[in-house]
Amino acid sequence: MSETTDRIASIERDALAALAAAEDDAAIEAWRTRVLGRSGELTGVLRGIGGLDADERKVVGAEANRVKGILEAALDERREALRRAALASTEADALDVTLPGRPLRRGRLHPITQVRRRILDVFERLGFQVIEGPEVELDAYNFGALRIPEHHPARDMWDTFWFDEEVQGPDGNERAPLLLRTHTSPMQVRFMQEHEPPIRVAVPGKCYRYEATDATHEWMLEQVELLAIDEGISMANLKGTLQEWARQMFGPSRKVMLRNSYFPFVEPGVEVAVDCFQCPGDDPSCPVCRGSGWLELMGAGMVHPEIIAAQGYDPERYTGFAAGMGVERVAMVLLGVSDIRDFHANDPRFLAQF
Ligand code: YSA
């Protein structure tokens, strides 16, 4: 090794160490000028090559150019590393960890679900067991077993969505018409067929009616059906149960009215209404009561003895009451909503209120 190649090796060693210690653009530029610049250390060696003898010139020339290549590559690499580090620290500065977090929008239960659960909570406390039944129902249960035969005018009370298909009915009949249940009352019969008294059940579920909508009517509604069958059940039990339910739901100041009504599957039948929450009770333009002062919540009555007998129970021994209430109507009263259509319009601004 010649003195010059020693010098090149020492330039390479010192320069690489100095480059690694250069922490900013100014230090790098100073390094470049000192090592590779026009009067730089390595440039000086390259310039001196001409004064060497031919053999040494060849060796020193090759070595100096190899080291020059290494130092230039190291310079590029160091510049890139510093650029990346600067970028990362800018991004870190852009993230202000002291800013308050974005609030998470919390999900919630649909108001109808909330109200259905409240209704059922009260009935469960009053001793009713919650059961469910099919939304796609046979004509035989929705109407026939409830003393509403084909062509009976009472069918007009429930405008119905029918299926095109007919299926095998409970009596083996191959052509049993199928529908979307118009009320939860068919579950009275289904449950009685499979159980013995005493019976106390509450049946929540969706129902469907082929009818025009307005502020108190939807084509899809939820009902909760009640059925109590036992020895000695009277109209007083029906009234007491519904009044206690209404007191627990709405508080003691809400007025509850029972008035005569007709349903083929009860005798006698009643309709249960509460006083209007929207107007003083005499405003004909009120969307809730239309000036009547009352909003109907349910139909109810004493289960018709023929229906009790048809399930094989002794109607002399067993009596019962039943009721079917509209969950959306109850929700209107509880939440002060004057248009039932708001519940299923899916406007998050409306839903977020509850
Ligand atoms: C009657 C006697 C019983 O022993 C048992 C149940 C019944 C109720 C009967 N099955 C029935 O469906 N009667 S109803 O047609 O008057 O509806 C009952 C309740 O459902 C109504 O009082 C009302 O609160 C709600 N409802 C009815 N049609 C509705 C509706 N809610 C919203 N939109 C509709 N289109």
Q: pLDDT 10s digit of each residue in the chain, 354 long? A: 678 889 999 999 999 999 999 999 999 999 999 999 998 999 988 888 888 888 888 899 899 999 999 999 999 999 999 999 888 888 777 888 888 988 888 889 999 999 999 999 999 999 999 999 999 999 999 999 999 988 888 787 789 999 998 888 777 777 889 999 999 999 999 999 999 999 999 999 999 999 999 999 999 999 999 999 999 999 999 999 999 999 999 999 999 999 999 999 999 999 999 999 999 999 999 999 999 999 999 999 999 999 999 999 999 999 999 999 999 999 999 999 999 999 999 999 999 999
Residue of 35, 270, 273, 322 with catalytic role: 322
183 a catalytic residue: yes
Residue 217 Cβ contacting ligand 1 at under 6 Å: yes
Query: DSSP secondary-structure letter at 167?
Result: E
Q: In angstroms, what is the span from residue 312 Cα to ligand 1's centroid?
A: 27
Token output for 278: 């929207």
248 a catalytic residue: no
Give the DSSP H/E element, type plus range, for residue 262. Answer: none
Nearest CA to ligand 1 atom 21: 298
Predicted pLDDT at 173: 74
CA 142 to CA 163: how far, in whole Å?
14
322 a catalytic residue: yes
Name, in order, each residue with C-beta under 8 angstroms of 154's C-beta and a sequence gap of 6 or more: 148, 262, 263, 264
Ligand 1 pocket test target in 188, 214, 265, 298 with most atoms within 8 Å of CB: 298
Enumerate the H helices of the chain as residue ranges. 3-21, 25-35, 41-48, 54-94, 111-125, 139-142, 186-194, 235-250, 305-310, 327-335, 348-351
Please state the pTM of the whole predicted model: 0.75
Predicted pLDDT at 1: 62
CA 95 to CA 93: how far, in whole Å?
5
Predicted pLDDT at 337: 98
Residue 139 Cβ contacting ligand 1 at under 6 Å: no
Q: In angstroms, what is the span from residue 297 Cα to ligand 1's centroid?
A: 7
